[in-house]
Amino acid sequence: MLVPITKPKTGVFRYLEDFKIGETIETEAFSLDRDMIVSFAEQYDPQDMHIDEELAKNTIFGELVGSGWQTLLITLKLILNSKRFGDTPLIGAGFKEVRFHHPMYPGDSLKVCAEIMDIRPSKNKADRGLLDIHVTTKTTTGTVLITQTWTLALPTKASVTAAAASH
């Protein structure tokens, strides 16, 4: 199980024009336990440091830690559940500057903070544009786990007009 929460439908769509540079997104916290870390790792990242406490003692971490991939996916789920994008799908157009600063441990509670850094309409398609956000995943005690920059493709308000005209 990745993150046992779901994004309720809001009935609201946010378009590229609805966002502002400097706007921030803060998510609720999500706690995970040993079993969640091990279950994820057994399926997707079966390394000693993620699946067995005894074997993890012989790694650079010296103890069981969560997979960085799991941390990244929890980050995505928390952003989705923040409802800041409403029901607008998040379409990834780029993913860069990913830095793993600190491991995630069983019992950690994670929170995501993001800031919109750039907004630009597509040069070729009036129905979409790009939104760059700097995303920081940290524990609720303030330890930064991962920083990264996402580029999302979002619809513009022109996409609504185009959809209406095609019907």
Taken in order of first residue, the domains within the chain and their CATH numbers are 16-165 (3.10.129.10)
pLDDT band at 160 (very low <50, low <70, confident <90, very high): confident
| Mean pLDDT score of the chain | 91
> In terms of pTM, does the model score above 0.75?
yes
pLDDT band at 165 (very low <50, low <70, confident <90, very high): low
Separation in Å, CA 93 to CA 13, 86, 155 = 19, 19, 13
Inter-axis angle of helices 34-44 and 68-81, nearest 10 = 110
Q: What token pair was written down for 7?
A: 């994004």
pLDDT band at 153 (very low <50, low <70, confident <90, very high): very high
Give the model confidence (pLDDT) of 108-141 as tens digits.
999 999 999 999 999 999 899 999 999 999 999 9
Q: CA-to-CA distance for 103 and 138, rounded, in angstroms?
A: 10
Q: What token pair was written down for 141?
A: 């005690």
pLDDT at site 36: 97
pLDDT band at 4 (very low <50, low <70, confident <90, very high): very low
Q: Residue type at 4?
A: P
